[in-house]
Amino acid sequence: MTQACKLAAGNWKMNGLRADLAEARALAAAFPAPGCGIVLCPPATLLCAMAEAVSGSAIGLGGQDCHTQAAGAHTGDISAAMLADAGAHHVILGHSERRADHAESSALVAAKAHAAHAAGWVSIICVGETEAERDAGETLDIVLGQLAESLPEGAGAANTVIAYEPVWAIGTGRTPTLAQIAEVHDALRAKLPDRAISLLYGGSVKPGNAAEIFAIANVDGALVGGASLKAADFGAIIAALEAA
């Protein structure tokens, strides 16, 4: 069986101006030949400039969302082809902030992932329970349901990464126990259409907890928000993944 690839993906969310490209440059310089995949997902406004800043390095780039259509009358939206034109080959889809702020359903996430795959790009599809859902004992039902509904036909290791991100752990400094992460990742792996799809954990990953999280079976890397904004912090997380 092919092994899932190790990947550290940084989600800059709605953060970052041109001055912050220095962080991307520093990261590229620190990892000329990394022992894992590295992807930075800056806001769309920075994609072209970041592509230039890390040109020739091992850092890949990703978008934070894409439309289901390649082009057309969709004010404010960005297509997978546009992301690629700007230098991105990954796209985060179904992040809980988009599911909450933009009422994105899993069906829409699957349609967006289909569009990204058709254009030849890799989707990083996010799933995760709210705190209320965890307290109600519904975690596995929620994440496995989101997985089943968010994966488009044809999803496999070549075009798909899954990120388990408990909503209550994102940006809060709180994380599930290692056993709770393991339980969800084991359940997700068992339901993947292709067991070599990489499974990332996301939610308050930091230099101080990365190594113990990466030691969990079925955790192939991380989707990192706040700690990906600084090269020193994200670099320490990447180093922990390389060593895992």
Residues near ligand PEP (CB under 6 A) are 11, 13, 165, 170-171, 202-205, 223-227
Backbone angles phi, psi at 242, to 5 degrees: -60, -40
What single letter denotes the amino acid at residue 128?
G
Q: How far is the CB of 229 from ligand PEP (least distance, A)?
A: 9
Instruction: Calculate helix-pair angle for 178-191, 207-214, nearest 10 degrees.
Output: 50
CB of 234 to ligand PEP, least distance (A): 10
The closest residue (CB) to ligand PEP is 225
Residue-wise DSSP of the chain? -PPPPPEEEEE-TT---GGGHHHHHHHHHH-SS-SSEEEEE--GGGHHHHHHHTTTSSEEEEES---SSSSSS-TT---HHHHHHTT--EEEES-HHHHHHS---HHHHHHHHHHHHHTT-EEEEEE---HHHHHTT-HHHHHHHHHHHHPPTT--TTTEEEEE--GGGTTTS----HHHHHHHHHHHHHH-SSTTSEEEEESS--HHHHHHHHTSTT--EEEESGGGSSHHHHHHHHHHHHH-
Give whichever of 23 and 81 is closer to ligand PEP, judged by the CB atom.
23
Nearer to ligand PEP (CB atom), residue 61 or residue 223? 223
For the CB of residue 222, give the shortest distance to ligand PEP in the complex, in Å.
8
Nearer to ligand PEP, 51 or 229 (CB): 229
From the CB of 71, what's the least distance to ligand PEP, in Å?
28
Out of 23, 97, 104, 165, pick the active-site residue: 165
CB of 2 to ligand PEP, least distance (A): 26
Among the listed residues 95, 114, 117, 185, the single catalytic one is 95
Residue 165 annotated among the catalytic residues of the structure: yes
Residue with Cβ nearer ligand PEP (224 or 241): 224
Q: 64 or 106: whose CB is closer to ligand PEP?
A: 64
95 is a catalytic site residue: yes
Catalytic residues: 95, 165
